A and B are shown apart, each in its own frame.
Chain A
Amino acid sequence: MTDEPILPPDPEEDDGEDDAPIEPVPGDEDEHGEGDDEDGPKSGAIPADAF
């Protein structure tokens, strides 16, 4: 037995926030794109009478 009082945990020492998942910021992730190895559709031809 000791005479030291039992103290509640320091809220700044471990409030659990460090374990919370970090929400990604939209558009801020490391961006690699998708389907960049595929040929997409080609642009159409503007008809001469639309010039």
Chain B
Amino acid sequence: MVYLAPPVYQLDGSRFQGFNCNCASDAMLIARATHGAQRPTSRRIRTLTGDTSGGTNLRQVHAVNQNHYHIGSVLWQPIPWDDLMDRARNDRGFILQISYAPLANTVHDCFRHRFKDNHSIWINHMTRYGNLRGMDPGADGRYRGCPKGYQSYKPALLKKAAGMLDLSGLGTAANRPLGFGKAYALLAPKGT
């Protein structure tokens, strides 16, 4: 039976709350990998990265997992989307880096339709219906229409969002998309 990591929300009042999607997602990866024995906060992960400006990347939280929690997460930059789905079918959880543009103005939007830059969400597993059960760190139900907790995503939507990840990380006209059919992902260890 798959362990469902308890939701971790990024908008927690901390200094970097607007930048902590990776940190909140990683807190869920750690909970999943330890089956709840370790449940750090988004703020705690952020502190352990040592990064005191702007957003974070997957490599930073991967290092936190290895150095502070002794968790052997696996970083793919990139991984073919189909290979990632093979792992999801085998109940692997992972952090998926995406562009939020394809999710804005959908039922999944957690940011009042005002955010379209790079974001990260935690994917816990694939459902029996082939959807991805994921937790957007912004899904805290804080306004009417804002999702709260886990949602089921169509893989095609997240495939598109993953391929549109902006490798420039600038959120400007210099956008450099990763490419359709590829993803940047940090996987929880096998068998967790």
- Give A residues with C-beta under 8 Å from B: 26-28, 31-51
Interface size on B, residues (CB 8 A): 47
Are A43 and B79 in touch, CB under 8 angstroms?
A: no
User: With the chains together, A35 CA to B115 CA distance in Å?
Assistant: 28
- The answer, yes or no, to whether B44 is at the interface (CB within 8 Å) is no
Across the interface, A38 reaches (CB within 8 A) one of B22, B59, B97, namely B59
Are B97 and A46 in touch, CB under 8 angstroms?
A: no
Residues of A within 8 Å of B138, CB to CB, are 46
- Which residue of chain B has its CB nearest to the CB of A30? B190
- Which residue of chain A has its CB nearest to the CB of B100? A44
Are B57 and A43 in touch, CB under 8 angstroms?
A: yes
The smallest C-beta distance from B12 to any residue of chain A, in angstroms, reads 11
User: With the chains together, A36 CA to B57 CA distance in Å?
Assistant: 11
- Which residue of chain A has its CB nearest to the CB of B58? A40
Are A35 and B114 in touch, CB under 8 angstroms?
A: no
- Which residue of chain A has its CB nearest to the CB of B88? A27
Across the interface, B76 reaches (CB within 8 A) one of A34, A37, A51, namely A34
Are B18 and A51 in touch, CB under 8 angstroms?
A: yes
Across the interface, A50 reaches (CB within 8 A) one of B57, B76, B111, namely B111
Q: Which residues of chain B in 8-31 are interfacial with respect to chain A, using CB atoms and an 8 Å cutoff?
A: 10-11, 17-19, 21-22
20 extra interchain contacts, Cβ-Cβ under 8 A, other than A34-B76, A46-B138? A26-B86, A33-B76, A33-B77, A34-B75, A34-B79, A36-B59, A36-B74, A38-B77, A40-B58, A43-B21, A43-B55, A43-B56, A43-B57, A44-B115, A44-B119, A45-B19, A46-B111, A47-B114, A50-B111, A50-B115
User: With the chains together, A40 CA to B171 CA distance in Å?
Assistant: 14
Stretch at the interface among B33-41, B127-135, B149-157, B162-170: B162-170
Residues of B within 8 Å of A43, CB to CB, are 19, 21-22, 55-57, 97, 117-120
- Listed from nearest, the 10 A-B pairs whose CB atoms lie closest are A44-B117, A35-B77, A41-B169, A43-B55, A26-B86, A42-B55, A50-B111, A36-B75, A46-B18, A50-B114
Across the interface, B118 reaches (CB within 8 A) one of A35, A41, A51, namely A41
Are A27 and B83 in touch, CB under 8 angstroms?
A: yes
Across the interface, B54 reaches (CB within 8 A) one of A39, A45, A49, namely A45
